[in-house]
Amino acid sequence: MDQVSNLDFYHHALAIREMQLQLTASNIANQDTPNYKAKGVAFKEAFKQAIDSQSIHLLKENPRHLDGIGNQRGIQVSYIQTGMIRPDGNNVNEHLEKANFAEQQAMYEAALMFSNASKDSIKSALKY
């Protein structure tokens, strides 16, 4: 993979990780909201779709297909099955969401670091 392709690769990863961070923060903020259902992004599927199509979008092959619960910035958002639903209908597990947030933040920072290294490599090559 050349350096320019690397930038595209990391651009997609950063967009998906950013969306997951926003959704996780929203899940945590709504942990006491009745009937709120936790939302997330299936990273592997979203990333594969982004790489395969070179753009992140939800494909609707038939006008009668239903939209997903969210297609924010072209990234498919879905409900998360946490295995628990409280009496008020909320299914957010605060501990899982906080752990997920920390993991997503680390992954985002890693992708950003690699993206910057790739960009710096291209800039260095252009100087000579």
* Range with lowest mean pLDDT among 16-30, 58-72, 76-90: 58-72
List pLDDT tens digits, range 15-60: 999 999 999 999 999 999 999 999 999 888 888 887 777 544 445 5
Q: Where are the domains of the chain?
A: 3-127
Q: How far is CA 37 from CA 2, 15, 45, 74, 128, in A?
A: 41, 22, 21, 21, 54
Q: Stretch 77-105: mean pLDDT, rounded?
A: 92
Give pTM, 2 decimals: 0.73
* Greater model confidence, 59 or 13: 13
pLDDT at 40: 93
pLDDT at 55: 44
List pLDDT tens digits, range 88-100: 999 999 999 999 9
pLDDT at 29: 97
Strand, coil or helix: 78: strand
Among 7, 20, 14, 21, CA closest to 119: 7
Amino acid present at 41: V
